[in-house]
Structure 1
């Protein structure tokens, strides 16, 4: 049977600041992120399976990505918890803002690595994460490929 790649696109809004950076992105700012999730597998060939002909039901992939990424990161402010931004994060949390503290500089590159690990853990055994593309603007994005990380 042929291996097939399927892709689902997701969107979320989030803010961040890059502590120690020497450009404008050191300031608090936000993006309309677009995440493209591509998985690879063989279509189900069991005629009695309700998902016959599918690699994975797009709805099942959506549940995984929503639970692990979208529901967590949408309308949040992301800070590296190992920087002085921690004080600001705590102050914002106390004012009931949705704050996420991560162990990395919250660049698009590092976020896509984090997202890959989160998604891979929840995919069915016969489905592999092929790639992720995370865009923070219409012209700027980072890509993660399983083949580059084996």
Structure 2
């Protein structure tokens, strides 16, 4: 049977700041991110399986991405934990804000790498992550492809 790619779209709001950056993004700001998740596999050909004809149930893919990405990053502010932003992060946390400290510069490029690692760990063995597209603005996005990695 043929390999088929399926894609599910997600959206979430996240704030961040890029420590050491020489432009406006050094300031705390936010984005309405759009994440496209594409997986590849063969449709189930067992007619007795309730998911017959599916590569993966869109609901199962949604559960993975929602739990590991959307629910974690939505309405959070992300800072690199290896920068002086940790002081600001602590202040925000003390005031009840949802703050995430990551071990990378929270650019779209680095976030999409992080997301790929997290999603790949959760997929069934017969399903492979094919591509991710993380759109930061209407005109700017980062892409990750399995074939490049």
Structure 2 length-normalised TM: 1.00
Distance, in Å, in 2 between the alignment partners of 1:87 and 1:25 is: 18
The one-character-per-residue Cα deviations of 1:22-45 (angstroms, maximum 9, x if unpaired) are: 000000000000000000000000
RMSD of equivalent CA atoms: 0.3
Cross-structure match for 2:53 = 53
Cross-structure match for 1:24: 24
Q: For residue 136 of structure 1, give the secondary structure of its aligned residue in structure 2.
A: strand
Partners of 2:13 and 2:105 lie apart in 1 by 18
What is the DSSP-based 3-state SS (H/G/I as helix, E as strand, rest coil) of the residue aligned with 1:19? coil
The yes-or-no answer on 1:137 pairing with 2:137 is: yes
SS at match of 1:12: strand
Alignment of 1:83-122 (within 5 A): 83-122=83-122
Task: String of CA shifts for 1:91-128, please: whole Å, max 9, x gaps.
Answer: 10011100000000000000000000000000001000
Aligned pair count reads: 149
Task: Find runs of 4+ consecutive structure 1 residues off by over 3 angstroms.
Answer: none
TM-score in terms of structure 1 length: 0.99
Structure 2 stretches lacking a partner, 5+ long: none
CA deviations on 1:6-55 (whole Å, 9 max, x unpaired) are 00000000000000000000000000000000000000000000000000
Contiguous gaps of at least 5 residues in structure 1: none
Residue 43 of structure 1 corresponds to which residue in structure 2? 43
Secondary structure at the residue paired with 2:117?
Answer: helix
